[in-house]
Amino acid sequence: MAEYQAPLRDMRFVLNEVFEADKLWASLAGTRDIIDPETAEAILEEASKITSSLIAPLSREGDEEGCSWNEAGVTTPKGYKEAYKTFIEGGWVGLSGNANYDGMGMPKMLGAQYEEMLYSSDIAFGLYACLTSGACLAIDAHATEELKQKYLPKMYSGEWAGAMDLTEPHSGTDLGMIRTKAVENGDGSYSITGTKIFITGGEQDLSENIIHLVLAKLPGAPAGSRGISLFLVPRNSVDANNVVGENNKVTCGSIEHKMGIKASATCVMNFDGAQGWLVGEPNKGLMAMFTMMNYERLSVGIQGFAAAERSYQNAVDYAKDRIQGRAATGAAQADKEADPIIVHPDVRRMLMTMKAYNEGSRAFSTYVASFLDTAKFSDNADEKKHAEAMVALLTPIAKAYMTDRALDSCVAGQQVFGGHGYIREWGQEQLVRDTRITQIYEGTNGIQSLDLMGRKIVSNSGKLYELFANEVAEFIEENRDNAALQSTISPLAAAMERLSDVTEYVIKATAEDANAVGAASVEYLELFGLTAYAYMWAKMAKVAVANVEGDTSGFYDTKVKTANFFFSRLLPKTVSLSESIRSGSVDMMALDQDAF
Active site residue ranges: 442
CB half-sphere exposure, 411, CA atoms < 13 A: 7
Whether residue 115 contacts residue 306, with contact meaning beta carbons closer than 8 Å, is answered with: yes
Whether residue 286 contacts residue 215, with contact meaning beta carbons closer than 8 Å, is answered with: yes
| Spatial CB neighbours of 107, under 8 Å, sequence gap ≥ 6 | 21, 25, 28, 31, 35, 96, 369, 373, 376, 377
| Spatial CB neighbours of 480, under 8 Å, sequence gap ≥ 6 | 489
Assign 237 to helix, strand or coil.
strand
Q: Write phi, then psi, for 211 (nearest 5 degrees).
A: -100, 110
Helix axes 486-509, 555-565, angle to 10 degrees: 40
Helix axes 516-545, 345-377, angle to 10 degrees: 100
Query: Distance (Å, rounded) from C-alpha 417 to C-alpha 243?
Result: 52
Q: Write phi, then psi, for 529 (nearest 5 degrees).
A: -60, -45
Residue 364: name the closest of 400, 409, 418, 339 by CA: 400
Query: Distance (Å, rounded) from C-alpha 430 to C-alpha 125?
Result: 14
Query: Distance (Å, rounded) from C-alpha 553 to C-alpha 542?
Result: 18
| Spatial CB neighbours of 177, under 8 Å, sequence gap ≥ 6 | 168, 170, 171
